[in-house]
Amino acid sequence: MSAGHLIELGSVFLILIGTVAGSLSAIGFIRLPDVYNRAHALAKSCTLGVLFVLLGTFLFFLFVERYFSIKLFLGIFFVFLTSPVAAHMTCRAAYRSKVPLAEISVRDDLKEAMSREYNCEQKGGA
Amino acid sequence: MIKVMLYLSTGFVTLSILVSIYRLIKGPSTPERTQALDALGINMIAGMGVFSVILRSTAFFEVILLLGILSFIGTIALAKYMERGVVIERRSSD
Amino acid sequence: MPMQVLINLFIGLLWMFFQNDWSALSFLSGYLFGLCVLFVIRRFLRSKFYLFTLHAVISLFLLFIWEMFISSILVIRKIITPQIRIKPGIVAMETSLEGDIEVTLLALLITLTPGSVVMEVSPDYKILYTHVMDIPELSDAVLRSRNRFEEAIKKVTRK
């Protein structure tokens, strides 16, 4: 068993771990109760899975095919940077379009702030 | 061994894409559908990575980059649209 | 800081001229020499020596990756427990950071910490409304990690 073979096996193993993490977070899409909780699964586990897959691909092509791909590196960076932003935007849009929280929720600090803002806008408009 | 692991990972990616499609069809509200589309895009990126290792070809890296950018921009545009009813905000001219 | 990088590149180029040797190696040695010069005169520069800023940026990036790893393990553990017993909710958090860049970085980092997603920022950038996945277990941890992130971000952006 040579070193090259070992590196190949390692990077393929990274890919496998990434896809397992992605499918586990996909199970979370079914089981978690509302939009806001699903955003946790999307922003963290799913992105971590994709990062592992892309890292495994990067290492595979670097060590097995001797090909350094800056494009793949940019892709990793971009996915890593944009997934929290996407989760934040969908959560915000969901709250603004009045999707209710799940019934097991225990606390909501944003409600009064939103109603205060709404009242201010009403006064300013009138 | 490596072949088996790679085919297993395509199976996992397929599973997560199917779950995202289920959520896309069933999801009771529009933000949930947007979220499912985002998850679908991210899982497609993972699938492209796995395929480029199976085929040992570097031709799919552009696809990875473009899918990442397109899925992000699509999510942002949909979220903006749901929030305000417009995609690009302009200063109100007064 | 961009001025310092420019001066450093200039010193490297000058070094290459002095050596009369047009190769990447002599440029690199000149660049390292320029780093030494800038390090010696760092007291007279107006801003901080740029390697320190670079170090702070790199350590912030490593913090990003580490937090992401920890938090996704936690979320996966919550997902695969047979019965999901969570008490989610929205918590208001105050922040002492100012300006667009600092608040944006903090919101990104908090979104990556265990079980919290930033949902709304108040218009004066003072309060972050955060959705926490399990309030009794996690709210203290979120507050603690917010303090750590504020320290790390101030090291990058403040002088």
* Domain residue extents for chain B: 2-84
Asked if pLDDT for residue A71 goes beyond 70, the answer is yes
> What's the whole-number average pLDDT of chain A?
82
Per-residue pLDDT band at B90 (split at 50, 70, 90): low
CB atoms A33 and C84 under 8 Å: yes
Nearest to B61 among A9, A38, A69 (CB): A69
Helix axes B61-84, A70-96, angle to 10 degrees: 20
pLDDT in tens, B27-60: 788 888 888 888 899 899 999 989 998 998 888 8
Q: A11-25, C27-41, C119-133: which has the minimum mean pLDDT?
A: C119-133
Residues in Cβ contact with A107 at an 8 Å cutoff, skipping those fewer than 6 apart: C89, C90, C91, C135
- Minimal-distance CA residue of chain A relative to C123: A117
Question: Among A14, A20, A25, A37, which would you mutate to test the C interface (most chain C Cβ atoms within 10 Å of its Cβ)?
Answer: A37
What's the confidence (pLDDT) of residue B11?
92
Please report how many Cα atoms fall inside a 13 Å half-sphere around the Cα of residue A48, on the Cβ side.
Answer: 28
Which of the pair, C1 or A21, is modelled with greater confidence? A21
From the CB coordinates, do chains B and A have 3 or more pairs under 8 Å? yes
**Domains in chain C: boundaries:** 2-44, 50-157
Q: Write out chain A residues lying below 8 Å of B32, CB-based.
A: 35, 38, 94, 99
pLDDT in tens, B61-86: 888 889 889 999 999 898 888 877 76
State how far the Cα of B71 lies from the Cα of B82, in Å rounded to an integer. 17
Highest mean pLDDT among A12-26, C74-88, C103-117: A12-26
Asked if pLDDT for residue C110 goes beyond 50, the answer is yes
Asked if pLDDT for residue A124 goes beyond 60, the answer is no
What's the confidence (pLDDT) of residue B89?
64
* Kind of pairing between the strands at C127-132 and C116-121: antiparallel
CA–CA–CA angle C126, C132, C137 (5° rounding): 120
Looking at the complex, does the CB of residue A43 fall below 8 Å from at least one CB of chain C? yes
State how far the Cα of C123 lies from the Cα of C120, in Å rounded to an integer. 9
pLDDT in tens, A7-51: 888 889 989 999 998 888 888 888 878 888 888 888 888 888 888
Subunits that touch chain B (at least 3 Cβ pairs < 8 angstroms)?
A
Q: Which segments within chain C are labelled E, that is strand?
A: 89-94, 116-121, 127-132
* Kind of pairing between the strands at C127-132 and C89-94: antiparallel
Asked if pLDDT for residue B1 goes beyond 60, the answer is yes
What's the confidence (pLDDT) of residue A126?
45
The residue written with tokens 């990575």 in the block is B49
Nearest to C75 among A40, A80, A102 (CB): A40
Nearest to C135 among A31, A92, A107 (CB): A107
Burial (0-12, 13-18, 19+ Cβ within 10 Å), C68: buried
Q: What percent of chain B is predicted at pLDDT more than 90?
A: 20
What's the confidence (pLDDT) of residue B14?
92
Per-residue pLDDT band at C94 (split at 50, 70, 90): confident
Measured in angstroms, the CA of B69 and the nearest CA of chain A are apart by 8
Per-residue pLDDT band at B18 (split at 50, 70, 90): very high
Asked if pLDDT for residue C97 goes beyond 50, the answer is yes
Helix (H, G, I), strand (E, B) or coil at C153: helix
Q: Which residues of C8-38 are buried (b: 16+ CB within 10 A; e: fewer)?
A: beebbeebbeeeeeeeeebbebbbeebbeeb
Highest mean pLDDT among A59-73, C68-82, C143-157: A59-73
Q: Which residues of B31-67 are buried (b: 16+ CB within 10 A; e: fewer)?
A: bbbbbbbbbbbbbbbbbbbbbbbbeeeeebbebbbeb
| Residue C139, token pair as written in the block | 């709210």
What's the confidence (pLDDT) of residue B13?
92
Asked if pLDDT for residue B87 goes beyond 70, the answer is no
Is the Cα dihedral C135, C140, C141, C146 positive or negative? positive
CB atoms A42 and B31 under 8 Å: no
Q: Please state the separation of Cα B14 from the chain's center in Å.
A: 13
Residue of C96, A72, C63 whose CA lies nearest to B62:
A72
CB atoms A85 and B76 under 8 Å: yes
Residue of C75, C58, C150 whose CA lies nearest to C110:
C150
Looking at the complex, does the CB of residue A69 fall below 8 Å from at least one CB of chain B? yes
Q: What is the complex's ipTM, to 2 decimals?
A: 0.82
Mean pLDDT of C117-141: 79
Measured in angstroms, the CA of B91 and the nearest CA of chain A are apart by 17
Cβ atoms A57, C92 nearer than 8 A: no
Looking at the complex, does the CB of residue A92 fall below 8 Å from at least one CB of chain B? yes
Which of the pair, C42 or A50, is modelled with greater confidence? A50
CB atoms A50 and B32 under 8 Å: no
What's the confidence (pLDDT) of residue A121?
63
Per-residue pLDDT band at B92 (split at 50, 70, 90): low
Task: Identify the domain containing residue A42 by its residue range.
Answer: 3-125
Q: What percent of chain A is predicted at pLDDT more than 70?
A: 90
Report CA-CA distances (Å) from B26 to A39, B16, B18, B30, C157. 17, 15, 12, 10, 45
| CB proximity under 8 Å: C 20-59 to A | none
Question: Among A40, A55, A98, A116, which would you mutate to test the C interface (most chain C Cβ atoms within 10 Å of its Cβ)?
Answer: A40
DSSP lists the bridge partners of residue B12 as none
CB atoms C108 and A85 under 8 Å: yes
Q: Which alpha helices (H) appear in chain A, and where do they start and end?
A: 3-31, 35-40, 47-63, 70-96, 110-125
